[in-house]
A and B are shown apart, each in its own frame.
Chain A
Amino acid sequence: QVTLRESGPALVKPTQTLTLTCTFSGFSLSTSGMSVSWIRQPPGKALEWLALIHWDDDKYYSTSLKTRLTISKDTSKNQVVLTMTSMDPVDTATYYCARLTAVAGTNGYFDSWGQGMLVTVSS
């Protein structure tokens, strides 16, 4: 059974750096075809993809946020960490981590999601 769980601060102040951790089980990020992504959803709004890390440590970032984002993995701990700098109230959202499964030659799909955690940016 695949599970993912997000953890981190529920409240951050403007200009601070947010660090979120995704702890997962039921699969290994060292397995070919496995990837983990971060996706966020502001209250009442649509899903927005943020970042993706592949089993081979290849990384992709949202073009609009790439200067503020860093994604990394610790395969031994089954964790993926996302840092986002210069937090602003508009970054208030529920942040999800999700597993991306891909067959060779395709871009894949998010087949398992964490429950999400609400991060509020406020002074």
Chain B
Amino acid sequence: QSVLTQPPSVSEAPRQRVTISCSGSSSNIGNNAVNWYQQVPGKAPKLLIYYDDLRPSGVSDRFSGSKSGTSASLAISGLQSEDEADYYCAAWDDSLNGPVFGPGTKVTVL
């Protein structure tokens, strides 16, 4: 059972917007940066957002991250079929002395 909480799944129609929440505690999200990873089925995870709200080069600006207190969110706007994937939040946990991943959220484009 992960120390980070994410909804198991979200779904929305093409061109719409979805938001994925990630809830933690003061030992992880509340005191450390949040990173988001996208995993297309059968592939390795890919860095999507780092340090709460920064996008690596090459990542579409349709993806955005935010954080407030012990929670973080990933928003995907202009949803496309290629966005169907599992999305994981992650943060360093000071109590566990290592990074922790959320359970993942499956995004389905209707």
Chain A contact residues, CB within 8 Å of chain B: 37, 39, 46-49, 52, 60-63, 96, 98, 106-107, 109-116
On whether the beta carbons of B45 and A107 are closer than 8 Å, the reply is no
B88 CB-CB contact with A under 8 Å: yes
On whether the beta carbons of A111 and B103 are closer than 8 Å, the reply is no
Summarize A's interface: helix, strand, loop or mixed: strand
Chain B contact residues, CB within 8 Å of chain A: 2, 32-33, 35, 37, 39, 44-47, 50-51, 56, 88, 90-92, 96-104
User: How far does the Cβ of A30 sit from chain B's closest Cβ, in whole Å?
Assistant: 22
With A106-B51, A110-B37 in contact, do A47 and B88 touch (Cβ < 8 Å)?
yes
A96 CA to B44 CA in the complex, in Å? Answer: 8
User: How far does the Cβ of B73 sit from chain A's closest Cβ, in whole Å?
Assistant: 17
On whether the beta carbons of B98 and A46 are closer than 8 Å, the reply is no
A27 CA to B49 CA in the complex, in Å? Answer: 21
Q: Pick the 8 closest A-B CB pairs, nearest first.
A: A107-B92, A109-B50, A113-B44, A109-B35, A47-B101, A46-B103, A46-B104, A49-B99
